[in-house]
Amino acid sequence: MAERKSAKRLLTSLTVLPVYLTAGIADAAEKLGEEDSAMAEGSKSAGGAAEESVESLRQQVDALAGEIGQLRGAQDDTLLYVALGIGIVGILLAIIALVVALGKADKKAQKRVKETPQKQSARIDQQEAALSNLEKRLEQAEARIAQQGRQVEATRPAVQTAPMPRTAPAAPAVPSWETRARTFAAAYNQFLQTKVSGMGARNLKERFLQEHQIVGFSCVNYADRMSNPDIQPLFQINENQKEAHYWACPLGGNLYAVVPNSREYEMQKHTTVGYGEVFRSNYAGGVYHSIKVIHPAIFRELVLQRPGQLQLGK
């Protein structure tokens, strides 16, 4: 019974032995790889790692051989032979694998040690050439993709875009003389609305005449128009600004902005001195005590170019 138990234990050991041997071979191969990468730094040689692994395997085999010697007199020979066969086959396979691994590691190490600078340079050149070829292929692929994108864009139906809204044309620039004429009309209306008397009224008028460089215009044929209102009025410069029928503000270029020289609008001025022709207004007869200039009349020298517009009030 004791011999049978020993044989079973031996069988188990021999069965597990290939696993141990394989682990030992992997450990030896790993050490060889480490030795090969650290060769330039003076670490242990691949032969030393191999000897350690072989020595470990030899010790495990000797231990098993001792157990086999103790069981030579066993009666259950069949079980013993089976165990020995499995063990021997496992040992042989492990030794063969170890020898192959050692041979490959030794060849790689020798190949790297014996590689000349010329071969290293050639290997680097090959790698660079391969990288350059890869970059060219990548550029070609990008060019094909871009071309396909253009083809797709060309075949895509045109998108109908809404027409841009038309903007209003820019207003024509206002001439500088027109701006000055408006400024003069506003100042004239302010002058008429200022209620002063005595010296204050005289000073106000003098200041207005000087500030705007007023020139006096008068109708020279007003006596003839009294008998025949269909006669067109004729104008001339009046040196006496205060007695002139009109006040004219120079605008430049022989142009004048013209307003009435009066605080009242009545029939005689409308018919004889030419207010009816020079200005458009809401005059309907009688006397109007309020005058407001909407637009001054425009003269070129002494000829009416554009009638003005007045708003009259009682």
Res. 258: pLDDT tops 80: yes
The DSSP call for residue 72 is T
Measure the CA–CA gap between 289 and 279, rounded to whole angstroms.
Answer: 16
Higher pLDDT, 201 or 259: 259
User: Longest C-alpha distance within the chain, in Å?
Assistant: 175
Question: What is this structure's pTM?
Answer: 0.46
Res. 255: pLDDT tops 80: yes
71-82 pLDDT, tens digit per residue, is 444 444 555 555
Res. 64: pLDDT tops 80: no
Enter the tokens of residue 172.
């024509």
Residue 40 pLDDT: 41
172-182 pLDDT, tens digit per residue, is 666 799 999 99
Q: What is the mean pLDDT of residues 171-199?
A: 88
The DSSP call for residue 41 is G
Residue 178 pLDDT: 93
Residues paired with 291 in a beta bridge: 312
Measure the CA–CA gap between 189 and 292, rounded to whole angstroms.
Answer: 6
pLDDT category at 257 given cuts 50, 70, 90 is very high
Measure the CA–CA gap between 35 and 47, rounded to whole angstroms.
Answer: 10
Question: In this predicted structure, which of 71-75, 180-184, 195-199, 269-273 has the lowest mean pLDDT?
Answer: 71-75
Strand order in the sheet with 308-313: 279-280, 308-313, 290-295
Residue whose pair of structure tokens reads 């590689």 in the numeric block: 115
